[in-house]
Amino acid sequence: MENLKYAVLFLLTCGIAHADQDVKTVGDLDHLQSGRVFYDAQTAFNRSKMAAGQADTVQVPSAPVTSVTTTPGSPAVTPPVPVNTLPVLEKVAGAVATLNFADGSSAMARVGDSIQGGFTVKSVSMRGVVIRRSADGHEFTLN
């Protein structure tokens, strides 16, 4: 009977010691939660900026407009408007950035990758992603 008490005590002690290694602290949870809140806020900010039309815009070259004869009462031909073709940064996970494009697609990109729209990823960091337009070398920071 005495041996049984020691065996049970030994098993309980080993189980508690093993459980301590798997337990995460409140600090770990706080760190994860604050990172999630930060990225959710950054995504909402970028979407609001896009909706307000204050994001970096790029003039998309269009086909040359041929002369059109209009009849009275028909709408006039308007020049092309700037279209935002820059991707939107969704999140950064280490050295990989997830980018959303105007056509609704998304892609994961690393430094040196060529991405949709004629851009090359120059840097990926927690501060944002820097992309360079291949046509003229202009750099944009997505954050």
Q: State pLDDT tens for residues 63-112.
A: 555 555 555 665 655 555 445 578 999 999 989 999 998 888 999 999 99
- The pLDDT, as a whole number, for residue 119 is 92
Residues paired with residue 41 on neighbouring β-strands, in sequence order: none
Give the span between the Cα atoms of 98 and 85, in whole angstroms: 16
| pTM for this predicted structure | 0.45
Question: Which of 81-85, 120-124, 133-137 holds the top average pLDDT?
Answer: 120-124
Q: 100 vs 16, which has greater pLDDT?
A: 100
Give the span between the Cα atoms of 31 and 117, in whole angstroms: 35
Half-sphere exposure of 105 (CA within 13 A, CB side): 8
DSSP state of 58: B
